[in-house]
Chains A and B, each alone.
Chain A
Amino acid sequence: MNTISIRGVIKNYPNFTLGPIDLTVQRGELFGILGPPSSGKTSILKLILGLVRPDHGRVLVGGVDTDKIEVAERQISMVFQNLALFPHMSGRQNITFPLTERGLSKVEIATRLGAVSDVLHVGHVLHKNPAQMSGGERQRIALGRALAPDSRAILLDEPIAALDARLREEMRVELKRLQRMNNQTFVYVSHDEEEVMAIADRVAVVIAGRVVQVGTPDEVYQRPNSLAVAREVGSPPMNLFRGRFTANGSHFECGNMTMAIAEAIDVPAGEEGTLGIRPEDIHQAHDHATQRFQVSVSSIEPLGGYTIVNALLGEQLIKIRVTGQLESPHDYGGSVAFDARRIHLFDSEGDRLGI
């Protein structure tokens, strides 16, 4: 039985339509939702939580149609983007709030509080007010408040967006560990695709109110089913070349560049399309490489473990990811080759072609 199931849901907003959406979240998985800002990710969470009712379709929680039950009976907790901690209450009171509201016994509340604060290492800040805590501590209290009531699923809406970059990297691993340890079901929304892709078991890419692709992070990364998904996933983003296919679908032309396609695509002659190649799949060309393209390097970004090379291929600016360090732009040679197995092809509509 799926913990959460969204079937054919449509919700109309003044300037935007969400749906039709079909999604299932299985028990114990960390389900990620990513997409550009204002694509409807938070609205999906609101539908699951019950803040919003769908105009069409059904939302099922624990196999039960949510139309037939009170919102509170869904037993879903949420961690909000701005955390929404009660500023006048201590950390302890914040975490136990949902428990006291549901009328649990004092013993039960104390047990749950103890378990949660152990797991989250917040024992030392329970007595403080949110204003006296650091960003990371606040985030853990908000998480504790969501974990304490033993919910069916926990929804997280950009829970770590407000933290520093370094802290975010550490906290997302913590979140994953927590989810794994308690076998909790998480639905995790973030506009930071790297964050979602790093920890999710499965991912849904939402663009302009539709779920465009669902799969494991590997699947979505290796085989994006459309241009929209290809642009969303990967930092730096995939390099995209607009051009056309030759008659027998064996080559792709873009400007002066002609690329042979390993397995010919069945497309009409001269059909327009897009070729995509990720920065890490572009390599320095060896002398005997069959297909080489001239590039001129404009700058490099040394990130320590790897380097991003910004270069011009013809008229187009591309990014190349090189493992290791380069001292200067001149250390990168003048011609590159694309890893033929890693080319992504899209038709004029933006849909994926080929395997």
Chain B
Amino acid sequence: MTSVQINNVTKRFGDFTAVRDLTLDIPQGQFIALLGPSGCGKTTTMNMIAGLENPSEGSISFNGSDLSGMRLQDRNIGFVFQNYAIFTHLTVYKNLSYGLEVRRLARSEIDRKVRAMAGRMGISHRLGEAASRLSVNEMQKLAIGRSAIVEPRVFLLDEPLSNLDASFRAYMRAELKVLQREFGQTMIYVTHDQIEAMSLADKIAIIDQGRLMQYGAPLDVYNDPHSRFVANFVGSPRINLLDGRLEGESGRLKLLLDGGAEIALSAGAAAEFSRVGFAQAVTLGIRPQHIYLGDRRSPEDIGMRGRVEEIERVGPTRLAYLQVGQTRFLSVDSHDRLSTGEEITFYLRADKSLAFDLATGDRLGGRLH
């Protein structure tokens, strides 16, 4: 079991800086997700751990010992490529045995391990077949098995589920988690899909434009985002982010949202915002499930009136888009009774509202109550 340390790593490609001063401490035996939009530098980071790229500055170590200069062959890293890169000219058996053959294990030993791994991954029935004839789902299992069979100390996976169809993806999410526990290795997983990251990882590192935005357990990142970016990127369904300006005098503060809606802030909030100054550009964040209809539940909660613009059904839930002036709120229609065009009153839960500084994206102090 190996821990991985990324120490102040920067990576430049010519003029372009892909990774900026990234520091990450990955404990052994854990499942870590590198999450971020395309081009944020997550794949570059993983390539540097694998040794496919070298950092421009900083270093990467396993269990504290620096990896620089170590050859690819010697790092003993398991790597699953996004397109699997299985050996298409070989059989499934030969794919699995490749790593063992290059280590010159005895034939009987190789055979035993290959059959065991094939059984574990559920592809025993395809052992003699050409690897190129496997379905995409089976190829993914083969890619994982091929890397796992050499018992690497660290397992790297580059968007491994992106090519799979939806139902198999759901199945593999659970499988990967089980496999990681079983193999016991440290697993580092690159993805742009926050659902995957949330469901699989022990900790998530959120990266944007080469910078680490936040690093923590899924629910911590969800409940307590440090920045507007993180709040927006993580969580299903996605958070409402409403930009606006603070107006009024102390004690009678209002939040004037960009679309024209107004939110009256309670005294406690006023104290919070007095730190940042008036006419400040801020963002109000509120998750759809924290907007409710019916009766006001707490005096702090903010009431608004708007029109149901659109209803989107996502699995068992229905999301309602509520229009107030030019501003849109996304709410979870948990009682299935709204229809398009209806005018309704809704409330924002004060204790679950998040405030961000719009200029820097940083989270402002506590909550909006």
Contacts and interface: CB of A to CB of B under 8 A. Distances in A.
Interface of A: 36-37, 135, 164-167, 169, 173, 176-177, 180, 191-194, 197-199, 217-218, 221, 231-232, 234-237, 278, 280, 298-299, 301-306, 308, 310, 317, 319, 321, 323, 325, 327
B167 A308 contact: no
B170 A173 contact: no
Contact of A37 (B165, B195, B200, B287): B165
Contacts of B170: 235-237, 319
Given A231-B167, A303-B199, A319-B170, 18 more contacts: A164-B193, A166-B37, A176-B312, A191-B166, A198-B312, A217-B313, A234-B315, A235-B167, A236-B170, A278-B316, A280-B315, A298-B178, A302-B222, A303-B195, A304-B234, A305-B237, A308-B199, A319-B174
A298 B165 CA distance: 24
Contact of A301 (B165, B173, B316): B173
Contact of A299 (B38, B174, B232, B314): B174
Nearest to A192: B166
A191 B165 contact: yes
A337 to B, nearest CB: 17
Given A299-B174, A301-B173, A305-B288, A165 B193 contact: yes
A194 B194 CA distance: 15
Nearest to B200: A301
B39 to A, nearest CB: 9
Interface of B: 37-38, 165-167, 170, 173-174, 177-178, 192-195, 198-200, 218-219, 222-223, 232-238, 287-289, 310, 312-316, 321, 332
Nearest to A305: B289
A197 B313 contact: yes
A305 B287 contact: yes
B335 to A, nearest CB: 13
Contacts of B321: 173
A166 B314 contact: no
Nearest to B237: A305
Contacts of A165: 192-195
Contacts of B174: 299, 301, 310, 317, 319
Nearest to A170: B238
22 contacts: A164-B193, A165-B192, A166-B192, A167-B37, A180-B310, A192-B166, A198-B314, A199-B312, A234-B315, A236-B170, A298-B178, A299-B178, A301-B198, A301-B199, A303-B198, A303-B199, A305-B332, A310-B174, A319-B174, A321-B316, A323-B289, A327-B219
Contacts of B313: 197-198, 217-218, 221
Contact of B315 (A166, A176, A194, A299): A194
Interface secondary structure of A, over-half rule: mixed
Which of B38, B177, B218, B314 has the largest number of chain A CB atoms within 10 A?
A: B314
Contact of B219 (A194, A234, A310, A325): A325
Contact of B218 (A166, A217, A298, A302): A302
Contact of B38 (A164, A302, A305): A164
A302 B199 contact: yes
A314 B237 CA distance: 32
Given A165-B193, A299-B174, A303-B199, A177 B165 contact: no
A151 B38 CA distance: 33
Residue from the set B166, B173, B195, B232 with the largest chain A CB neighbour count within 10 Å: B166
A236 B196 CA distance: 12
A42 to B, nearest CB: 14
Nearest to B38: A164
Contacts of A317: 174
Contacts of A321: 316
A197 B232 CA distance: 23
A192 B232 CA distance: 22
Given A164-B37, A165-B193, A310-B174, A302 B237 contact: no
Contacts of A135: 38
A302 B198 contact: yes
